[in-house]
Amino acid sequence: MKKSTRKKQSLKLQVVTKNWAGLDAQPLLQANPAAALPLLSMIGQAQLSIEDLLGRMSRQFVEQLLMMAAESVAGPKHPGRTAGEVRWHGRQGGLVNLGTSKLKITRPRLRGPVGEVALPGYAELAGDSNLSRRIADVLACNVSTRKYTRVMYRCADEMGISKSAVSRHFVKDSAQALAKLMSRDFAKTDLVAIYVDGIIVARHHLIAAIGVEATGAKHMLGIAPGSSENAKVVKDLLGSLAERGVDLNVPRLWVIDGSKALRSAIDQLCGEAAHVQRCRIHKIRNVTERLPKAKAAQTRWVMTQALKGDAAAGIQKLKAHAKHLKAQHPDAAASLLEGLEELFTINRLGVTGELARCLATTNVIESPNSVVRRVSGRVTRYRNADMAMRWVAAGFLEAEKAFRRLRGHQSLPSLILAMRPVPVQLKKVA
């Protein structure tokens, strides 16, 4: 029943947008002018926004298809390339049909020994073909990135483009995404907090870092191949951040998982400037997974309550609980005591409310991880860690477009003052 309801709603939206130009507003205005006018204005604005978005998506999609079609005939475009009978010959404007709309695009030109060479698929897109209607329908349905790539394969096949050409296209784009991510300069960005956590993509271990500046804005900082338990990997990642302008001597909050190697690297490279907050979700999970179900529920409650209050009182409460566990569950007791004080770093810094909840865990990295999984979901087998890095970078950059400011960012000035009693001067960039 729900499925059919959604379908009916979608059809109604299509009718409104398609028939907007001929909509008769007079009955509405006669009934209630004050209510009808804002409604009609809203519909008109929504239509313009939707059409603008679809236009941008469609143009990019079609132009990518036509570039790959040109490559299937003339080979990759290289400066000074002379091999082959068909060669690239600049670009020119074009017009394609997408459903009921016409779309201006830029298409490549090809020339052969006897003149202009037709671009595969362009004639079909310029006419009212099944291909043009399919692309219009796909884009109008707000297709996800994962589905988008599958659709690209199908449309390319109809245009006579090989799957290998499509694959080369995605390899190139993902490589560019990785290079873009790992070349970002943060010399002029005052990062107040940095989250670092490990992720796993098809058995490949990677670590990712996200930074938060004083305004609450979030930035993807970088990724590295390997586990957060690998000392060299985490040092390489932090070293990369330093090379790209992140002053590791500036006091800031580091929100990390329970990795000893990561903690050690922060100590070595940042020294006393680092305020380290252990992820509470990781810690609670590490402790409770060593306990039977009933005892795990009790311990989870004790830890949650202790973490809400004063740091000194909370630490004493958890030490007492660890003593209680030690007789029958020594592994859980040892896990609870390990890095205990770092669970209360934000408490000591006076962070409360919504900001405290956001800074107490590495969940900020989990959200873009879902986008990464969606983008990389079409990949059934990763050949190596480099391939995983490329796809993860593409996913993170896509996720970053939807980043919102950190919840509770209004309280960040208090955190900054607690960490930096003396104002910090960012290094001047030459």
Confidence at residue 152, expressed as pLDDT on a 0 to 100 scale: 59
Mark whether 326 and 264 lie in a shared domain.
Answer: yes
Residues of the chain with pLDDT under 50: 1-51, 53-54, 141-146, 429-430
- Tokens 């404007």 appear where? 93
Domain that holds residue 318: 180-419
Look at residue 9 and tell me if it is in a domain.
Answer: no
Mark whether 355 and 274 lie in a shared domain.
Answer: yes
Mark whether 185 and 156 lie in a shared domain.
Answer: no
Mark whether 59 and 127 lie in a shared domain.
Answer: yes
Mark whether 226 and 345 lie in a shared domain.
Answer: yes
Look at residue 5 and tell me if it is in a domain.
Answer: no
Confidence at residue 39, expressed as pLDDT on a 0 to 100 scale: 41
Confidence at residue 48, expressed as pLDDT on a 0 to 100 scale: 40
Which residues fall within 8 angstroms of residue 28, CB to CB, at 6 or more apart?
36, 39, 40
Confidence at residue 96, expressed as pLDDT on a 0 to 100 scale: 81
Confidence at residue 23, expressed as pLDDT on a 0 to 100 scale: 42
Distance of CA 128 to the CA centre of its chain: 36
Confidence at residue 139, expressed as pLDDT on a 0 to 100 scale: 55
Please state the domain count of the chain: 2
The DSSP output letter for 128 is: T
Mark whether 235 and 377 lie in a shared domain.
Answer: yes
Domain boundary among 129, 161, 193: 161
Mark whether 295 and 415 lie in a shared domain.
Answer: yes
Residue closest to 212 by CA, chosen among 342, 346, 365: 365
Asked whether the beta carbons of 186 and 219 are under 8 A apart, the reply is: yes
Confidence at residue 10, expressed as pLDDT on a 0 to 100 scale: 39
Domain boundary among 101, 132, 161: 161
Beta strands at 252-256 and 274-278: parallel, antiparallel or unpaired: parallel
Confidence at residue 56, expressed as pLDDT on a 0 to 100 scale: 63
C-alpha angle 117/123/129, rounded to 5°? 160
Mark whether 124 and 189 lie in a shared domain.
Answer: no
Mark whether 190 and 301 lie in a shared domain.
Answer: yes
Confidence at residue 173, expressed as pLDDT on a 0 to 100 scale: 72
Asked whether the beta carbons of 174 and 390 are under 8 A apart, the reply is: yes
- What are residue 277's DSSP bridge partners? 255
Query: For the whole prediction, is pTM greater than 0.75?
Result: no
The DSSP output letter for 202 is: T
C-alpha–C-alpha distance, residues 266 and 273, integer Å: 9
Mark whether 227 and 331 lie in a shared domain.
Answer: yes
The SS3 call for residue 363 is helix
Asked whether the beta carbons of 398 and 375 are under 8 A apart, the reply is: yes
Residue closest to 224 by CA, chosen among 212, 208, 238: 208
Look at residue 111 and tell me if it is in a domain.
Answer: yes
Look at residue 13 and tell me if it is in a domain.
Answer: no
Look at residue 229 and tell me if it is in a domain.
Answer: yes
The SS3 call for residue 187 is coil
Confidence at residue 198, expressed as pLDDT on a 0 to 100 scale: 85
H-helix or E-strand containing 264? helix 260-270
Confidence at residue 91, expressed as pLDDT on a 0 to 100 scale: 87
Look at residue 175 and tell me if it is in a domain.
Answer: no
Confidence at residue 411, expressed as pLDDT on a 0 to 100 scale: 95
C-alpha–C-alpha distance, residues 137 and 132, integer Å: 9
Look at residue 10 and tell me if it is in a domain.
Answer: no
Look at residue 235 and tell me if it is in a domain.
Answer: yes
Confidence at residue 213, expressed as pLDDT on a 0 to 100 scale: 95
